Structure 1
């Protein structure tokens, strides 16, 4: 099947404190589903779930080309990175 012309969901990869506050509001107001954890994929329709599966497969293919494949997060198991101010 052809890829969708518009995104099926918004996937959060990382956020800081301000971003997490914005995401809380987006859950109620966004025109598209906001994925902030892999389990949220279950709430998507079949087309969006197929797209997420394709994205996860692409991530795994990318990992195969990396020197350390274990360093590439698994889309089905890894939630977004939350960046704490002053951490590090």
Structure 2
């Protein structure tokens, strides 16, 4: 969870409160402003989720690259050791 996800969630909550206040005092402008804040909050929260997913993807790619490099080094060492054993 990152800053955008948290701020988006808080903006959605604030929008709900604002919309409810607009309904309570019968103020269509306040009600609509609350709905607008909820939509903006949802968008910001979604953006935060995208950023989290991208970060996870990068982390998995780095781990896969590291694993491949280690396996490659192990394969080279095995081949080197095997060639030495065969040539003796």
Q: TM-score, normalised by structure 2?
A: 0.32
More strand as a share of residues: 1
More helix as a share of residues: 2
Of the two structures, which has the highest relative contact order with CA contacts closer than 8 Å and spacing of 6 or more? 1
Larger Rg: 2
